[in-house]
Structure 1
Amino acid sequence: MRLPDLEAWAIFATVAEHRSFTAAADALGLSKATISKAVSRLEADIGQSLFHRTSRRLALTEAGRPLAEHAALILASAHVAEEAARDAASAPAGRIRLAAPMTFGVGKIAPLLADFLAAHPGIEIDLHLSDARVDIVAEGFDIALRIAELPDSSLRARRLCTIQTYLVAAPSYLAAHGTPTHPGQLGDHALLGYTNINGPWRFRGAGGVEVSVKAEGPISANSGEALLPALVAGLGITRLPAFILGDTLETGAVVELLPEWRAAPVGLHLLTPPSPLRPARVEALIAFLADHLRD
């Protein structure tokens, strides 16, 4: 059996990441000639060109684009295997890149990380907070937390808990525009939309009856927290989770609407790249987050 040219695949992955033979040579500490020969060797093995080469730029070919993803996984798996061998003889150490939603990350994740780091002094965490959906593999994240119903993908996903959302409005808005008594009436109201969740709002009532409503109104945002000022000011109705609403329900700044028509709950998911191999430091953080976020 002929073994794959793993060195060439790893070098190809690095060239694809940097879009440059020179930059890949610098990153790997190899000569540019070695880099070029490895890529040419791989192209000869598979019978396809991997890059379009010009004097000014280097671009992946149609065949090269999907193969670059496979090559990145091969390289990442090799790194993980080496780290696992080292970790077996010592305490978990190294950097973890973690992505989380902005408000949830600030309010819930950052406090937990302080406890985690105190227990694992050899670990460093690069926390990336954004409500945008990150590409875990392409952007090099070890873990991503995502509050959503997940589409099918090659990523490994673990559901940690359920997040319930609430339909709410300020008393001043209801006094001026009336209180809806059925989801079907929401189309006549100003709805404040969260743009990172595609599609209409869906509600389920008694007997499993479902109603869908398109969210349209004076403001939409890719951050749920950014909708709070407009909500409290009485500019419309929106749907938000408790960790964003904070104490606005308890203080009466907003009131819940249609409690008998619950929106379908969404899950808090922990996502990791598709490789089954993970460094001990990543496994430690996964176990910690799963234990502390399950409720």
Structure 2
Amino acid sequence: MRLPDFEAWAIFAKVAERGSFARAAEELQLSKPTISKAISRLEKSLGNALFNRNSRHMSVTETGRMLIGHASRILAEAEAAESEARGGTHRPSGLIRVAAPTTFGIRHLSPVLPAFLEKYPEIDITIDFSDSLVDLVAEGFDLALRIASLADSSLRARRLCDVRLLLVATPDYLDRIGRPAHPRDLEGLKSFVYTNNSAPGTVRLKSKRTREEFVLSQASRFRADNAEAFLPALQANLGFGLFPEFMVWQGLRDGSFEEILPDWEAAGIALYLVTSSNTLRPFRVNAFLEHLIAAFEHPPWAVPGL
């Protein structure tokens, strides 16, 4: 019986994680020829290429994407075994790849990173800020932050906190058009329409008192796939829109924004921490997950008076 080439599998996981033979060699403290030979050895054994590569570019093949999860588990299990043998004294190190929504990531994820980076000086972080859903396994991400109402999937999701969606305008705009008493009063008024969802311009509202439901069809003045683009026009009294609370909470508290129809509510969403279904994760990823769980247990937009 021939044993699997565990070293080559671990090296493949590290090259896929780092996106480069040279960076993997530097982290593993191996020569680049050693890395290249291990990958070639594994490709020969599998009968399939794991990377498309030339002198200027490298990408993971379809076969490679299918196998990244297996390779990462091999590496994670080996790291866990070594740490246990050392009595848990091994310091987490290496790269963590994260996907996060653009506005939320820059406004709220970035500020919680310095404390983590200071605590773990041997861990590096790469973040892909995008409002598009990424395939964690195929694209080699360790985790993602998602703001949504998540459908069932093969991924593991930890709900961190609720995110309310609020109809918002400026007081000056509402002074001009009048303060609506019912969602139907907003129909025909041009507004800001977020397009990165399944039904752009459709807002389902429910009365908090009577439980009446109403579907508001927004008339569009300005459409975009990132709601932060609406803020200058919102501040200029040019319309209203549906915004996540984390984007407008400060304006609501200082009075520069006003919630429209506070007795009505849109269906809530939440902030989720999403990982692959694999329960064997490197210690650096587990440390980061714990940091994020603590950081968003009491998010600033949900703390009264902050």
TM-score bin (small chain): 0.7 to 0.9
* Identity value in percent: 40
What does 1:139-288 align with in structure 2 at a 5 Å threshold? 139-199=139-199, 200-205=202-207, 206-288=209-291
1:165 is displaced (CA, Å) by: 2.2
1:85 and 2:76 equivalent? no
**8 Å CA contact retained: 2:5, 2:42:** no
Judging changes above 3 Å, is the alpha-carbon distance between structure 1 residues 11 and 293 closer, same or farther for their aligned structure 2 residues?
A: closer
**AA in 2 matched with 1:190:** K
- Larger CA deviation: 187-196 vs 264-273: 187-196
Judging changes above 3 Å, is the alpha-carbon distance between structure 1 residues 27 and 292 closer, same or farther for their aligned structure 2 residues?
A: farther
Judging changes above 3 Å, is the alpha-carbon distance between structure 1 residues 198 and 116 closer, same or farther for their aligned structure 2 residues?
A: same
Q: Mind listing any 5+ residue stretches in structure 1 that lack a counterpart?
A: 18-25, 44-48, 52-59
Counterpart-to-counterpart distance in 2, 1:68 and 1:28: 19
1:170 is displaced (CA, Å) by: 2.0
**AA in 1 matched with 2:78:** E
Q: Mind listing any 5+ residue stretches in structure 2 that lack a counterpart?
A: 18-31, 51-59, 299-306
TM-score under structure 2 normalisation? 0.74
TM-score under structure 1 normalisation? 0.76
Counterpart-to-counterpart distance in 2, 1:80 and 1:192: 46
Counterpart-to-counterpart distance in 1, 2:221 and 2:33: 49
What does 1:4-19 align with in structure 2 at a 5 Å threshold? none
**AA in 2 matched with 1:239:** L
Counterpart-to-counterpart distance in 1, 2:49 and 2:217: 44
Counterpart-to-counterpart distance in 2, 1:224 and 1:165: 12
Counterpart-to-counterpart distance in 2, 1:8 and 1:116: 31
1:293 is displaced (CA, Å) by: 0.6
**RMSD between superposed Cα atoms in Å:** 3.9
Judging changes above 3 Å, is the alpha-carbon distance between structure 1 residues 264 and 180 closer, same or farther for their aligned structure 2 residues?
A: same
Counterpart-to-counterpart distance in 2, 1:13 and 1:280: 15
Counterpart-to-counterpart distance in 1, 2:203 and 2:49: 44
Counterpart-to-counterpart distance in 2, 1:100 and 1:15: 22
- What CA deviation, in whole Å up to 9, does each residue of 1:221-259 have, x standing for no partner? 222221111111122111112321143223432211111
1:27 is displaced (CA, Å) by: 9.0
- Which residue of structure 1 lines up, in the alignment, with residue 126 of structure 2? 126
**8 Å CA contact retained: 1:97, 1:142:** yes
